Amino acid sequence: MPLAPEIKSFLEKQAAIGAPAVWQAPLSEIRANTQGRMVMSGPVEDFREIANRFIPGPTANLPIRIYRPTDNPAAPAIIHFHGGGFVLNYLDMYDASMARLANQSGFTIIGVSYQKAPEHPFPIPFDDCYATLIWVRDHALELKIDPHFIGVAGDSAGATLASAVAIKARDNGIELKFQLLIYPCNGRDFTTDSYITMATGYGLTTQAMQWFWEQYLQGSEHDLNPYAVPMSAEDFSHLAPAIIITAEFDPLLSDGQEYARRLGNAGVPVIYKEYDGMIHGFFTNMAVTPTSQIAIDYAAGELKKIKG
């Protein structure tokens, strides 16, 4: 299928702006440029409650945002890790999509602003995310969530962090009910089919992903650590059931396909959904494409099936 017309138009407009690639300008400028992405998210729909607070992390206090769609004193919960190549983005960019996902699913969502690379390389962002899981479990009564029905979610680098947290949770005997992975970048192999065929021209580029990974890992020392690179895990068995969503024109497509295959081969229940005509980032860009809302509602529906 070709690019969806609205996606083609979006890419043409972005190209006309001529913003520098992530490796072409100071990091402060690249981060400032992300402020313009807010308009892509769309308006935040009516919502019961969005609350902000700080929680203690391993090395710093961490901002969290709680999206509570219901008065249920024991709601199922999602811990969400945002994307941005381990380097960029912030909670405000996710208000519209998280509000929609919470409203449609009935799940309370807890998003965390973990510390970013390159100032805070691995394992700091990962440790922040795992510590958030532990804190949420320990404060379930206060958060009005069910401590026995918690899962993790994320998009792009956030999906990588969610995958890694799911692996460590399994390793430490913590049961997660699901992992919702939106176009994860779970491997560091840049010779996959999609990294080659979608290297440029579709928003996210292969060179950008190489740069992002280098900011996060800063060398090859951690390439075989599954908490850093989930695809490097030797054992995928007994991980939380996965919902994996990908985009047809995304350099990360092969990563999502391969991770779904490995989980499935290890006996993990996997729901895999690829959206034709879409590019990286579509899931949260409700002002760009109607497929964003469709995908969010699909994910919500699958989460409700898991809840039963």
- Give the length of the chain: 308
302 vs 304: CA distance, rounded Å:
5
List alpha helices for the chain, DSSP H.
Answer: 5-17, 27-33, 38-41, 95-105, 124-138, 140-143, 157-171, 193-197, 206-217, 253-265, 290-307
The structure tokens listed for 223 are 């390439």
Residue 175 CB neighbours (<10 A):
12
Reduced to 3 states (helix: H, G, I; strand: E, B; else coil), residue 44 is coil
For the chain, give percent helix, strand, coil, nearest 5.
Answer: 45, 20, 40
Spatial neighbors of 228 by CB under 8 A, at least 6 apart, are 122, 123, 126, 164, 216, 217, 222
Catalytically active residues are 156, 250, 280
Closest CA to 212 of 81, 87, 302, 36: 87
